[in-house]
């Protein structure tokens, strides 16, 4: 007898999300973003995973482009967008490699842990030795895709040297928007603006 496979669903803020194998599941960092962002009209999400943040923005009436390097994540986002009856532009892109145009809001919940795990799936959390191996390249180019009056929302861990990141990327003003503490780290949601 073959056992029925139960597809795990989760609901948050009225959004029903199917969890997909090998795709980052919404967690505390995801919800920290959703609970504290005020997206502009044109939104770009880098690393969309299940699509829950992009769907949340689309349900607010925003025009949303989202991307991921994982084909499984893109398929998962598409299924979840259909389930929640929203329209998204879904692209396969490594950071900004396939992105055109400028956006009012760019959202990135990156791999931020300062580890160099080599196991399968580690790209979902592995931020390299300093935690910035993905965040750095993102910030190198983000301003080219950001409207001059726009902002970036990004998750950063207390396990990293946030001050060194701020010093390196002086072109941005870093404003702490929210935080959530756990026994081993604090997650920060920063909102970044271009310096005038």
Domain containing residue 169: CATH number = 3.40.50.150
Q: Does residue 115 have a pLDDT over 90? A: no
Q: In this structure, what DSSP letter does residue 33 have?
A: H
Domain around 54: 35-194
Q: How far apart are CA 52 and CA 145, in angstroms?
A: 22
The mean per-residue pLDDT over the stretch 60-86 comes to 97
Q: Report which secondary-structure segment, H or E, holds 11.
A: strand 9-12
In tens, the pLDDT along 136-149 reads 999 999 999 999 99
The reply to whether 29 falls in a domain is no
The reply to whether 73 falls in a domain is yes
% of the chain surpassing 70 pLDDT: 85
Asked if 177 and 191 touch (Cβ cutoff 8 Å), the reply is: yes
User: What's the whole-number average pLDDT of the chain?
Assistant: 88
Asked if 46 and 108 touch (Cβ cutoff 8 Å), the reply is: yes
Q: How far apart are CA 69 and CA 49, in angstroms?
A: 9
Q: How far apart are CA 177 and CA 188, in angstroms?
A: 8
Q: In this structure, what DSSP letter does residue 190 have?
A: E
The reply to whether 83 falls in a domain is yes
The reply to whether 159 falls in a domain is yes
The reply to whether 59 falls in a domain is yes
Q: Does residue 121 have a pLDDT over 80? A: no
In tens, the pLDDT along 149-176 reads 999 999 999 888 899 999 999 999 999 9
Q: What is the pTM of this model?
A: 0.90
Picking from 9-18, 44-53, 152-161, 182-191, which range would have the lowest pLDDT averaged per residue? 9-18
Per the structure, how many domains does the chain have?
A: 1
Largest Cα span, the chain: 66
Exposed, middle or buried, 15 (CB in 10 Å: 0-12/13-18/19+)?
A: buried
The mean per-residue pLDDT over the stretch 189-195 comes to 96
Q: Does residue 3 have a pLDDT over 60? A: no
In tens, the pLDDT along 51-69 reads 999 999 999 999 999 999 9
Q: In this structure, what DSSP letter does residue 45 have?
A: E
The reply to whether 85 falls in a domain is yes
């Amino acid at each position: 007898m073959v056992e029925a496979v139960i597809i795990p669903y989760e609901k948050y803020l009225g959004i029903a999300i199917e969890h997909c194998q090998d795709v980052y599941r919404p967690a505390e960092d995801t919800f920290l973003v959703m609970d504290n962002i005020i997206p502009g009209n044109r939104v770009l999400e880098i690393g969309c995973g299940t699509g829950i943040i992009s769907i949340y923005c689309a349900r607010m009436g925003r025009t949303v482009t989202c991307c991921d390097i994982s084909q499984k994540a893109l398929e998962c986002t598409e299924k979840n967008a259909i389930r929640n009856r929203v329209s998204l532009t879904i692209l396969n892109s490594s950071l900004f490699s396939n992105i055109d145009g400028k956006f009012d809001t760019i959202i990135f919940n990156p791999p931020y842990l300062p580890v160099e795990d080599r196991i399968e799936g580690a790209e979902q959390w592995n931020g390299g030795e300093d935690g910035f191996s993905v965040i750095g390249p993102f910030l190198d180019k983000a301003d080219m895709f950001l409207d001059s009056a726009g902002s970036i929302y990004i998750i950063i861990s207390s396990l990293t040297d946030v001050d060194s990141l701020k010093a390196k990327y002086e072109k941005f003003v870093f404003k702490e928007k929210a935080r959530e503490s756990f026994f081993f780290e604090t997650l920060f949601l920063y909102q970044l603006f271009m310096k005038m």
